[in-house]
Structure 1
Amino acid sequence: MSDTATAPAPQVTTAPSARFGFMKFVVRDLDAMRSFYERAFGLVVSQTIDLPDIMELVLRRPGEETGFSLILYWNKGGREVSVGTGHGPLGLFVRDVDAAYAHAVSQGATPHREPWDAGAMRVAFVLDPEGRELELISMKR
């Protein structure tokens, strides 16, 4: 018999199921940002959360009540908001990157990187009116 102790076998656990729910942007001008995302990408407000200190607008594609959403979060007290560098772009799948890019720019987005081919994808970047990076992607057919 050996005097060497053996370590207990690690327990195998399964992570709980998770799915993507939303991306939240803290915005300076709620009305302007709502208008931009409605005009540029056809999103609509599916829910409004109006509390004493904050307001949130839940934006989705028309007719969709579940799935991923973009939430615009506005602090009623006027807290300073700045866009940092600790995140990547919000990715949006579109049918036609060139058309979506041109339309977003016509609706107030700032051109950031013109459309180009990246393997099986077509990609472009714009900045929303408050400077957040949006990545537009379509798969080539």
Structure 2
Amino acid sequence: MSDSTSTPTSRFSFTKVITKNLDGLAAFYETVFGMRELQRVRSSVNAEPIEEIILSISGDMASEPVLVLFNFLERPPLRESDTIVGFIVGNLDETLVRLQKAGGKVVESPKIHDEGGARVRVAFGADPEGRLLEIVQMS
């Protein structure tokens, strides 16, 4: 239970995606969505070695949520992912072309949705590891 007089000081700041191919997946997100590598981290979690790459579109970790590609160095790769990573893009068709050229695939072709007075085009893709991507173009 929270105190109704206090002001929350938290904000959403990142999503971590577990992968075995840090460099390959970073190249995919850089090519398709224009993300840039901000930082690489080598550390440990509960005495288990990890490595991660922090990606951002703006190049600034403080101004927007970032995507963190995360690898447990001594664990086998995951077989499935329950994560869907979403992007809002300026041109959905061009993004889907880049996605396919970079090794991803289109899972569902663009559809138009009219919801709450907003018209959007939505497609689903998959990155090279099969992780679902929801890609939205606002109209």
Same fold (TM over 0.5): yes
Structure 1 segments, 4+ long, off by >4 Å, are none
Instruction: Summarize the Cα distance change of 1:101–1:17 in structure 2 as closer, same or farther, 3 Å threshold.
Output: same
- The 2-side partners of 1:84 and 1:63 are apart by 26
In the alignment, structure 2 segments of 5+ residues that lack a partner are none
Cα separation, 2, equivalents of 1:47 and 1:63 = 10
Structure with the greater alpha carbon radius of gyration: 1
Corresponding residue for 1:81? 78
What letter corresponds to residue 76 of structure 1 in structure 2? L
- Distance of aligned partners of 1:43 and 1:12 in 2 relative to their CA distance in 1, 3 Å threshold: closer
CA distance in 1, matches of 2:74, 2:120: 42
- Unaligned 5+ runs, structure 1: 1-9
**SS state at 2:78 partner:** coil
Aligned partners of 2:30, 2:3: CA distance in 1, in Å?
A: 46
Seq. identity, %: 28
RMSD: 2.1
What's the TM-score, normalizing by structure 2? 0.82
Bigger fraction of residues in strand = 2
Which of 89, 93, 107 is residue 112 of structure 1 equivalent to?
A: 107
1:93 aligns with 2:88: yes
Q: Provide the residue aligned with 2:29 in structure 1.
A: 37
Aligned length: 129
Distance 1:31 1:114 in 2: 28
Deviation at 1:12, TM superposition (A): 5.5
The match for 1:59 among 44, 55, 60 is: 55
Deviation of residue 28 (structure 1)? 1.7
SS at match of 1:25: strand
State the one-letter code of the partner of 1:100. Answer: T
Deviation at 1:63, TM superposition (A): 3.1
* Stretch deviating more after TM superposition (43-52 or 65-74): 43-52
What's the offset of the Cα at 1:115? 1.1
* Matching residue of 1:3: none
Shift of 1:112: 0.4
